[in-house]
Amino acid sequence: MCAIMPERLAATEPFKRVTEMVGSGPYRFKADERVQGSRFVYERFQDYKPREDGGAPEWTSGPKVAHFDRVEWHVIPDPATAAAALQRGEMDGWELPISDLLPMLERDRKLKLETVYDTGFCMLMRPNHLIPPFDNPAVRRALLGVVDQTEAMIAAMGEDPALRKVPCGFFPPGSPMASDAGMAVLDGKRDYDRAERDLQAAGYEGEKIALMVPTDYPLAKAACDVSADMMKRAGMNVDYQAVDWGHGGAAARQQKPSRPGRLERALHLLLRRRLLHPGHPPAAERQRRPGLVRVASQPQNRGVAGPMVRRARPDRAEADRGRTPGTGF
């Protein structure tokens, strides 16, 4: 989608940091209340008027209706701390709880687990195409034969099949651009011996593969652990680099090795939010809801998105409970 911003900001040089957060939506960013790495605050912009003839909100189209007067994003890295804050009523929602805590949260009658994104989250394994060995398409193709999406999703989301959707291509299943083209390579038994032979035939000679693993992002770390094992079993020399999400993102943007002979990033796994953002809550909840909502988030998730776990309204304590599925990687 196209972003709308003031011309003076749009004209900023591409490699210069933008220091003002000014957009065109129904909320304004409260820079004076920001606590870097801990809290980010948005307030409803009173002068914003959703278009009246825009129909119903759908995906990224339609009128943008503000349902809360104020939204606070609290960054709580430790999942147990986030869960406790939600149960004590200190938080109103938790964006992405880990699968290990879902049974406990589901038993709490004051909480509701619900599906916010039907398409879930999509994990992408992204080789660095600019430097060896992944600058060779044959090396990249050799790894496809050992990618096991189900194994990665079980590691990230647990054994419940309702929490995953596999197979998954570049676009999440159920999204408008989803396609089964080329997906056959992900079917069937994974053949590590063949992958090792294909890698050797492609010219791979044991070069070190730097795999960045974000330890502060449980879902991504779990999938990265599966990736590391996958590449080792295929005969690759894996350098497992445990980093935080911020350092991993910075390293991922580098186009050259930082030192001669070293692969700064050969493979990067990231968790991408749903490629198309929903524009509306359930129909029964589309009325404006005044007041404050406080959302617990992972350190790297600072965009505006609905929580997966929220405090239930007293009149809906017995409402049906659902879960947000993870998507194949």
- The confidence band for 182, taking pLDDT boundaries of 50, 70 and 90, is confident
Q: What is the pLDDT of residue 254?
A: 65
**Residue of 258, 265, 18 whose CA lies nearest to 130:** 265
- Tell me which of 67-81, 114-128, 247-261 is least confident: 247-261
Rounded Cα gap, residues 145 and 133, in angstroms? 17
| Model pLDDT for residues 191-245, shown as the tens digit of each residue | 999 999 999 999 999 999 888 888 888 888 898 999 999 999 999 999 998 988 7
Could you give all domains of the chain from N- to C-terminal order, each with its CATH number?
A: 24-117+279-327 (3.40.190.10), 121-272 (3.10.105.10)
* Residue partners of 248: CB distance under 8 A and separation at least 6: 212, 213, 214, 268
Task: Name the one residue in this structure whose structure tokens are 């194949």.
Answer: 328
* pTM, to two decimals: 0.72
- Say if residue 279's pLDDT is above 90: no
| Model pLDDT for residues 37-75, shown as the tens digit of each residue | 899 999 999 898 888 877 888 767 788 888 899 999 998
**Residue of 44, 94, 80, 114 whose CA lies nearest to 323:** 114
User: 3-class SS at 16?
Assistant: coil
Query: Which amino acid is residue 152, in one-letter code?
Result: A
User: 3-class SS at 211?
Assistant: strand
Task: Name the one residue in this structure whose structure tokens are 């990231």.
Answer: 270
- The confidence band for 291, taking pLDDT boundaries of 50, 70 and 90, is low
* Residue partners of 194: CB distance under 8 A and separation at least 6: 145
Rounded Cα gap, residues 329 and 124, in angstroms? 6
Q: What is the pLDDT of residue 294?
A: 59
Q: What is the pLDDT of residue 53?
A: 79
The highest-confidence range among 52-56, 156-160, 268-272, by mean pLDDT, is 156-160
- Tell me which of 73-77, 115-119, 143-147, 213-217 is least confident: 115-119
